């Protein structure tokens, strides 16, 4: 039945069937997260970093209604250059597939497709979360609900600092999603290593993390794991500068009436302008860092099997 919808690249399928290390990557960062050509260059470099550490990279996207697990170089280039590629979360998947459309997968959609293919580890930039002012708007990313239900470990640099981090962590706690600090006691805030909030558990090696994740799923404790991996110290932005930029961007979004899934791309673009491009550089470096850690985790999980 799944073959009706799913195309898994040959080397990715072989690795999955053999129980080898595979790391999923999203495509929203290609189509909506960065300008061309940095988006394509970043995606290909993430794949290289994962390969260099002994895992098979599988960038996920939707092309002509097919769920693609392991985009080719040509397909990544297409996702990076083509205008009008839809941003796809859980609710959008059946419609984009039925209409044979092109879609860039968010964290939630990437988790779903990765799980369908049998991939357990996913590297991204930052997870979505509870937006500021959600008490009135109820604007909560579908990423959080997916983390509560789908057995995929998500390696990220925390939640994007445009969000309400306190409420995001409360939501994850309510739904039993472990928030694990990778070599950190503090939950990172995407562009910065600090947020003022702690993590549930700290782990200092991929092996320790793999054992905990394996135990979780063998105990039939449904849902994912947030692996919070801070941006490297040399690449982080000034905490006060980035928060000032975010406050300015949020105010402008409110004035322009920008809401829903258009909010995050708008805010990230504004922060990039306000920081004179420094946020884009930081974004790229943190994604590379997450790719390395995800590869190490996937390798460690494969060894446990």
Contact yes or no for 139/214 (Cβ under 8 A)? no
Q: How far apart are CA 158 and CA 188, in angstroms?
A: 5
The predicted pLDDT at position 33 comes to 85
The predicted pLDDT at position 261 comes to 63
Using pLDDT thresholds of 50, 70 and 90, give the confidence band for residue 97: very high
Least confident of 50-59, 123-132, 205-214, 268-277: 268-277
Q: How far apart are CA 74 and CA 165, in angstroms?
A: 37
Residues sharing a CB contact under 8 Å with residue 13, sequence separation 6 or more, in sequence order: none
Q: How many CB atoms lie within 10 A of CB 221?
A: 12
The predicted pLDDT at position 139 comes to 83
The predicted pLDDT at position 254 comes to 81
Torsion angle of the four alpha carbons 169, 175, 178, 184, in this order, in degrees rounded to the nearest 10: 0
Q: Which residues are tagged catalytic?
A: 26, 160
What is residue 276's three-state secondary structure?
coil
Q: How far apart are CA 105 and CA 61, in angstroms?
A: 6
Q: What is the mean pLDDT of the chain?
A: 93
Average pLDDT over residues 199-212: 98
Q: Go through the domains of the chain in sequence order and give each one's CATH number.
A: 2-304 (3.40.1790.10)
- Tens of pLDDT, residues 232-281: 999 999 888 888 878 888 888 888 888 766 777 777 777 778 777 888 89
Q: Give Cα 244 distance to the centre of its chain.
A: 24
Q: How far apart are CA 40 and CA 116, in angstroms?
A: 25
Q: Does 162 have pLDDT greater than 90?
A: no
Q: How far apart are CA 252 and CA 248, in angstroms?
A: 6
- Encoded tokens for 19: 């129980």
The predicted pLDDT at position 1 comes to 54
- The H or E element containing residue 122 is strand 121-123
Please tell me the number of Cα atoms within 13 Å of 17 on its side-chain side: 7
Q: How far apart are CA 245 and CA 278, in angstroms?
A: 11
- The H or E element containing residue 47 is helix 38-52
Average pLDDT over residues 23-28: 98
Q: Name the DSSP letter for residue 260.
A: G
- Tens of pLDDT, residues 37-87: 999 999 999 999 999 999 999 999 999 999 999 999 999 999 999 999 999
């Amino acid at each position: 039945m799944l073959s009706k919808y799913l195309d898994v690249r040959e080397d990715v399928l072989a690795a999955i069937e053999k129980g080898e290390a595979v790391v999923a990557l999203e495509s929203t960062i290609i189509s909506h997260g960065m300008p061309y050509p940095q988006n394509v260059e970043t995606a290909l470099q993430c794949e290289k970093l994962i390969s260099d550490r002994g895992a098979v990279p599988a960038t996920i996207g939707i092309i002509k209604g097919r769920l693609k697990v392991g985009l080719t170089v040509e397909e990544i280039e297409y996702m990076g250059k083509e205008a009008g590629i839809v941003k796809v979360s859980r609710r959008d998947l059946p419609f984009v597939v039925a209409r044979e459309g092109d879609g860039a997968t968010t964290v939630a959609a990437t988790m779903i497709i990765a799980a369908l293919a049998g991939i357990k580890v996913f590297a991204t930039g930052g997870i979505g979360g509870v937006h500021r002012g959600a008490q009135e708007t109820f604007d909560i990313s579908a990423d959080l609900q997916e983390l509560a239900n789908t057995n995929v470990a998500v390696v990220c640099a925390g939640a994007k600092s445009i969000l309400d981090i306190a409420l995001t962590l409360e939501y994850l706690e309510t739904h039993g999603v472990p928030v694990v600090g990778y070599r950190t006691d503090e939950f990172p805030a995407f562009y910065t290593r600090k947020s003022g909030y702690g993590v549930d558990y700290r782990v200092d090696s991929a092996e320790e993390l793999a054992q905990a994740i394996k135990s979780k799923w063998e105990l039939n404790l449904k849902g994912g794991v947030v692996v919070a991996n801070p941006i490297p110290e040399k690449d982080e932005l000034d905490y006060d500068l980035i928060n000032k930029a975010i406050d300015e961007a949020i105010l402008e979004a409110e004035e322009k009436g920008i809401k829903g899934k258009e909010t995050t791309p708008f805010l990230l673009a504004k922060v990039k302008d306000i920081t004179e491009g420094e946020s884009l550089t930081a974004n790229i470096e943190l994604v590379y860092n997450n790719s390395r850690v995800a590869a190490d985790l996937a390798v460690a999980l494969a060894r446990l099997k």
